Amino acid sequence: MTDPMLDVFFHPDVLSMRVPDGLFEKPASPLLAHQMPFAEGPERIANIRAVLERAPSAHRFRWHEGRPATDAEITRFHTPEYLRMLEDADATGRWLTDTTCLPAGGMRAVRAGAGTVMAALEAILSGQTRLAYALVRPPGHHAARDVADGYCFLNGVAMAAEHARDAGCARVAVVDWDVHHGNGTQAGFYARDDVLTISVHMNHGAWSPDSHPQTGEVDETGTGAGRGYNLNLPLPFGSGDAATVALIRQIVLPALRRFAPNLIIVANGQDASQFDPNGRQLLSMAGFHAMAALLAEVADATAHGLLIAQEGGYNPAYTGFCAYATALGFLRAPLDQPDPLAYYPEDAAAAAQAVAALIARHPLLDEGGQWRPEGA
Ligand SMILES: [Zn+2]
């Protein structure tokens, strides 16, 4: 039997967008002698692609060309007014929030990012693959139906969830392990029980009353029919491999088994890595590898498979190594590349305590960490 492959979808247009240099993720500062590259740049994705192409298991990745998203695909999740606003902003370039800048012409990359997620979804729905990875930017999970936020304009994961439902998937689960709360996806499906949204993130709270009022806390559990179907799993700052992997094993896997989704979509960020400028978590390649292997195990039991969409990861070099480790985990292949940066030890006692404390205070989890939507 030949080894399973990971089908990777990419479109060169995703590299075409660049926000001008400034104070890391803000406009230029007059106090600086040298401005910094904007945090969300093409290098991060170009480096993931390079590592996937050059690393020892490069033969396990099958490359496919993505495509731009159509208006119909976009407005299946986003409002037409919001899409018009983005197209307007695209003509001249505009800062939409404190940290979210659409540069002039940026919609070319934005549409290619979201459309390439749709192309990867189609490959799963048509039975061509069970494991598809959309290597895209800009990220999407902070974008709500009508709000841009946190470098995100179109929420490819949410668009894919809606289309999977339309295509006959009765239940879709989104597992978001970007280090930031997946607020746009949460908001989009907050009143729905057909799309289970799970977000594993650092405990950063709300960051803007306009673009990100959601706290990501455990008490945001859904509303109406969706009560119990939004599972926020915030971990304390400084949580590393041990806490995050334990949380996936102890809470996320049983929840997915209970929900029995026809499709699992992973909002796959690597900004929980220990060298990320935008995260305060301490994951290494080994942690990402273990998390992905656990997800792949559950996805094997679902009808259609696993759709992986790239989200954050802002150390332009280490993100490539961590994304490679994640990809090998999804393939359930051994890690065959040394971690160039994993030299900090972990606090094992703090890791065990972090998961136990989260379970103890979570309204949707019983004492064993089992998801109980009826508890909402
Ligand atoms: Zn993030």
pLDDT digits (tens, 9 = 90+) for 70-125: 999 999 999 999 999 999 999 999 999 999 999 999 999 999 999 999 999 999 99
| Nearest-angstrom CA–CA distance, 119 and 66 | 6
- Which residues have a Cβ under 8 Å from the Cβ of 167 and sit 6 or more positions away? 125
Per the listing, tokens 């298991």 go with 57
**Backbone dihedral region of 110: left (phi > 0), alpha (psi from -120 to 50 degrees) or beta?**
alpha
Ion ligand 1: residues, CB < 5 A: 178, 180, 269, 271, 312
Give residue 1's pLDDT band: very low, low, confident or very high (50, 70, 90).
low
| Nearest-angstrom CA–CA distance, 160 and 63 | 20
Q: Judge contact between 327 and 288, C-beta under 8 A.
A: no
Q: What per-residue confidence (pLDDT) applies to 2?
A: 75
What is the pLDDT averaged over residues 220-226?
Answer: 98
| pLDDT digit string, tens, across residues 257-288 | 999 999 999 999 999 999 999 999 999 999 99
The Å distance, Cα 270 to ligand 1 centre, comes to 8
Q: Judge contact between 194 and 165, C-beta under 8 A.
A: yes
The Å distance, Cα 299 to ligand 1 centre, comes to 23
At 108, which helix (H) or strand (E)?
helix 107-125
| Nearest-angstrom CA–CA distance, 307 and 231 | 19
| pLDDT digit string, tens, across residues 114-158 | 999 999 999 999 999 999 999 999 999 999 999 999 999 999 999
The Å distance, Cα 68 to ligand 1 centre, comes to 23
DSSP designation for 131: E
- Residue 197 backbone dihedrals phi, psi, to 5 degrees: -105, 125
The Å distance, Cα 2 to ligand 1 centre, comes to 35
Clarify whether 142 is annotated catalytic. Answer: yes
The Å distance, Cα 155 to ligand 1 centre, comes to 13
The domains of the chain are located at 6-375
| Nearest-angstrom CA–CA distance, 241 and 345 | 10
Beta strands at 230-235 and 131-134: parallel, antiparallel or unpaired: unpaired
* Annotated catalytic residue, options 141, 142, 201, 304: 142
The Å distance, Cα 289 to ligand 1 centre, comes to 18
| Nearest-angstrom CA–CA distance, 234 and 32 | 34
| pLDDT digit string, tens, across residues 5-34 | 999 999 999 999 999 999 999 999 999 999
Decide yes or no: CATH 1.10.150.120 for domain 6-375.
Answer: no
